[in-house]
């Protein structure tokens, strides 16, 4: 691989001039710049990231901290991030955090301290206070996406409002016995996404005098949505509608209803949250958020901080009720 000296020799200038011609920093004559760029293109020369980083302190690389990689939602977010960052000349490196304490510690105390990134996007992560301390100790620009914390700037949808929107849609259709399935962390501080959704649901239900709110804790997965929905459907007095905290859970609920010979929406209405690409096929009514666009926005935000020293502020992300065939007035 050609180095800066090869380019310098080819263009008949010094390495310093090559650096200036290629980076665009510093004064340089148009003629020299053109000559150097031509030589560089000719040799296929690209600045070595390590050398450049060491000299400048900048990496042109953004880290993305992800809870799990195999979910539809995150895959879309990351795609949006990668696309935006690539267009701005940045690479993205992934730091996936599982539930394993040793693995989490390794990411926080080792990987992230290697100085490989200029900034960090943290996806929907529940960080313990001391983990957050260690994250902030990195002294790196950080922006959270869907994450929850008063200690770092976060882009997020208003989970309470989303839950309220979904619930009120069901109430407006005439449902009065509605179950919510969503995760509720033990002893959580009340700030995480699932809790907020539950809160919105319960607030909306409370606004109507005669409504009965059921709740079943479950993970945001198809399997667990299936299980939890099955449980409420098997109650002596099952609900006429289910509000699932994610579309994948809602799919699970639809399968659970189908297994019980229930017709949707005649016997049961189902609403989800996310705007999953399969929602259309399931005819699922949902509150769509836009993960790809969220990724783009998070990327733009972190670049603003990294490149222009902008202050990242909390921001509310858009969402939208998409009514499809899975919701209707209750039968009885």
Report the distance separating Cα 286 and Cα 73, nearest Å: 14
Size of residue set near its own copies by CB under 8 A? 55
Do 329 and 173 touch, CB atoms closer than 8 A?
A: yes
**Helical packing angle, 30-43 and 15-23, nearest 10°:** 90
Residue 20 binding DNA, by CB under 7 A: yes
Please give the angle made by the CA atoms of 160, 166 and 171, to the nearest 5 degrees: 115
Q: Based on CB atoms, which residue is closest to DNA, 89 or 187? A: 89
Name the binder of 31 from its own copies, DNA, none, CB < 5-8 A by kind.
DNA
Binding-site size, DNA (CB under 7 A): 30
Ranges within 51-80 binding DNA (CB under 7 A) = 51-52, 54-56
- Taking the complex as a whole, how short is the minimal distance between the CB of residue 105 and DNA, in angstroms? 20
Please answer whether residues 2 and 21 qualify as being in contact, where contact means their C-beta atoms are separated by less than 8 angstroms: no
Over 270-287, what HEC string results?
Answer: EEEEECCCCHHHHCCEEE
> Residue 326 contacts by C-beta under 8 Å, 6 or more apart in sequence?
250, 254, 264, 265, 269, 270, 271, 282, 283, 284, 285
CB of residue 123 to DNA, shortest distance in Å: 28
> 45 φ, ψ to 5°?
-80, 130
Binder of residue 290, out of DNA, its own copies, none (CB less than 5 to 8 A by kind)? none
Among 74, 183, 243, 290, interactor with its own copies by CB under 8 A: 74
- Token couple for 286: 């949902």
Q: Contact letters (x/-) for its own copies, 218-257, by CB under 8 A?
A: ----x---x------------------------xx--x--
Provide the Cα torsion 173, 175, 178, 180; round to 10°: 0
Q: Is 94 in the site for its own copies (CB under 8 A)?
A: yes
Residue 126 binds: one of DNA, its own copies, none (C-beta under 5 to 8 A by kind): none
Of 8-16, 44-52, 183-191, 302-310, which part binds its own copies (CB under 8 A)? 44-52
Strand ranges of the sheet holding 320-322, from the earlier edge strand across to the other edge: 212-217, 177-182, 241-244, 269-274, 285-288, 320-322
Q: Does 53 bind its own copies (CB under 8 A)?
A: yes
Binder of residue 267, out of its own copies, DNA, none (CB less than 5 to 8 A by kind): none
Q: Which residues bind DNA (CB under 7 A)?
A: 3-5, 12-20, 22-23, 25-29, 31-33, 45, 47-48, 51-52, 54-56
């Amino acid at each position: 691989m050609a180095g800066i000296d090869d380019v310098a020799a080819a263009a008949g200038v010094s390495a310093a001039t090559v650096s200036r011609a290629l980076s665009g920093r510093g004064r340089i004559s148009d003629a020299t710049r053109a000559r150097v760029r031509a030589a560089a293109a000719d040799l296929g020369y690209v600045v070595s990231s390590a050398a450049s980083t060491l000299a400048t302190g900048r990496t042109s690389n953004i880290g993305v901290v992800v809870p799990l990689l195999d979910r539809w939602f995150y895959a879309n977010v990351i795609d949006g991030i990668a696309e935006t960052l690539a267009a701005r000349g940045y690479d993205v490196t992934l730091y996936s955090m599982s539930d394993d304490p040793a693995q989490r510690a390794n990411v926080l105390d080792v990987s992230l301290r290697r100085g490989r990134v200029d900034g960090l996007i943290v996806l929907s992560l529940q960080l313990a206070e001391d983990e957050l301390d260690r994250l902030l100790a990195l002294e790196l620009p950080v922006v959270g996406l869907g994450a929850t914390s008063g200690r770092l700037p976060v882009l997020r949808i208003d989970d309470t409002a989303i839950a309220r929107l979904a619930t009120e849609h069901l109430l407006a259709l005439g449902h009065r016995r509605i179950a919510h399935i969503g995760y509720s962390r033990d002893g959580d501080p009340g700030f995480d996404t699932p809790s907020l959704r539950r809160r919105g649901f319960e607030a909306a239900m409370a606004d109507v005098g005669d409504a009965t709110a059921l709740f079943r804790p479950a993970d945001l997965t198809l399997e667990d949505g299936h299980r939890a929905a099955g449980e409420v459907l098997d109650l002596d007095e099952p609900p006429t509608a289910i509000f699932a905290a994610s579309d994948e859970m809602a799919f699970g609920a639809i399968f659970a209803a189908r297994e019980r010979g229930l017709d949707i929406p005649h016997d049961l209405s189902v609403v989800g949250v996310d705007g999953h690409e399969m929602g259309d096929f399931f005819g699922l009514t949902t509150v769509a958020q836009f993960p790809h666009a969220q990724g783009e926005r998070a990327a733009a935000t972190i670049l603003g901080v990294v490149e222009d020293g902008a202050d990242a502020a909390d921001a509310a992300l858009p969402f939208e009720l998409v009514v499809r065939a899975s919701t209707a007035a209750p039968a009885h």
